[in-house]
Structure 1
Amino acid sequence: MRIEGGCRCGAVRYRIDSAELPPVYCCHCQVCQTWSGSAFTQQALISESQIALTSGVAAIYENMTSSGARSKQHLCGTCHTRLWNTNSARPGIAVVRAGTLDDAEHLVPRAHIWTKRKQPWIVVGDNVPQWPENAPTADFVVALSGKLA
């Protein structure tokens, strides 16, 4: 199955090679709120080897996180839509901005992190795993059904 996505203006397109839509989670941290200009981000975890540009050139913005890891953002140089990022703390994993997927309406978040920063009007269902800050890795993998590739 080919999953496709791209930026708002259409200058950059990508594809994900996967048997199914990737699992997604929502992050409510201050950084994600600031980066997105919204209440949270919806993100999909995939293997970095699964994603490839199909048209255009992604601009790269690198920054050092508060933990000292290097984060590499791939975005459209025209409309500045963030498409995905990689992080030296999680080698081999790409974090795709789920809203940039063509079929984003079919995605259902499987977990929420940093809920202590969640806007008070957002209600997370009782059956959806959530953590006040980052989830322990093993618990997070279970919440996302262990499908990182």
Structure 2
Amino acid sequence: MAITGGCRCGAVQLEIARDDLPPVYACHCHICQRASGSAFSLQALVPEETLSVTGPIVVHEITTEDRTSTQRFCVTCHSRLYNTNTRRPGIAVVRAGTLDRSEELDCCAHIYTNYRQRWVPLPAEVPQWGEGAPMADFVAALMR
């Protein structure tokens, strides 16, 4: 069995080779707020080799001083689907809203909460960091 999803218009389909829904995290940084047009972005980290994509996509690279983020969008409806990053080789960051059954996802961590919209309450039992999380702690939160 696989986890499926796709873009808003249906031109692009995603499939993640795993049986269960992946854990997701919310990023509250201003970059994610602007990219999503919302209070945060919700995403899943999955091994890139488990992700297959069919349909027309466009690639946009964003390079900063320490990394290149390669963003993938649907050519037709411009839905943001996933990205890869040179700081995390082999990992795809899939936008959780593109997954079928997204209402069943479990948000396991919140990062960059110093920038969250104050009207967004965060559950006390879910790990959260004001800035980026230490990698070992972040991975542990996603694996719980």
Contact 2:3 2:19 in 1 (8 A): no
**TM score, norm. by length of structure 2:** 0.97
Unaligned residue ranges in structure 1 (runs of 5+)? none
Task: Give the match for residue 11 of structure 2.
Answer: 11
Structure 2 CA distance, aligned partners of 1:83 and 1:68?
23
Alignment pair present for 1:92 and 2:90: yes
Given candidates 129, 139, 142, the residue that maps to 2:140 is: 142
Contact 2:59 2:71 in 1 (8 A): yes
Structure 1 CA distance, aligned partners of 2:128 and 2:80?
24
The total of aligned residue pairs comes to 144
Given candidates 105, 108, 117, the residue that maps to 2:106 is: 108
Structure 2 CA distance, aligned partners of 1:91 and 1:57?
23
Task: Give the match for residue 125 of structure 1.
Answer: 123
Task: Give the match for residue 62 of structure 1.
Answer: 61
For residue 13 of structure 1, report the CA deviation from its aligned partner: 0.7
Structure 2 CA distance, aligned partners of 1:119 and 1:49?
34
- Give the alignment's Cα RMSD to 1 decimal: 1.0
Task: Give the match for residue 50 of structure 1.
Answer: 50
For residue 19 of structure 1, report the CA deviation from its aligned partner: 2.7
Unaligned residue ranges in structure 2 (runs of 5+)? none
Question: Where in structure 1 do 4 or more consecutive aligned residues deviate above 4 Å?
Answer: none
**TM score, norm. by length of structure 1:** 0.93
For residue 57 of structure 1, report the CA deviation from its aligned partner: 1.9
Structure 2 CA distance, aligned partners of 1:8 and 1:122?
25
* Cα offsets for 1:81-106 (capped at 9, x unmatched): 01000000000000000000011010
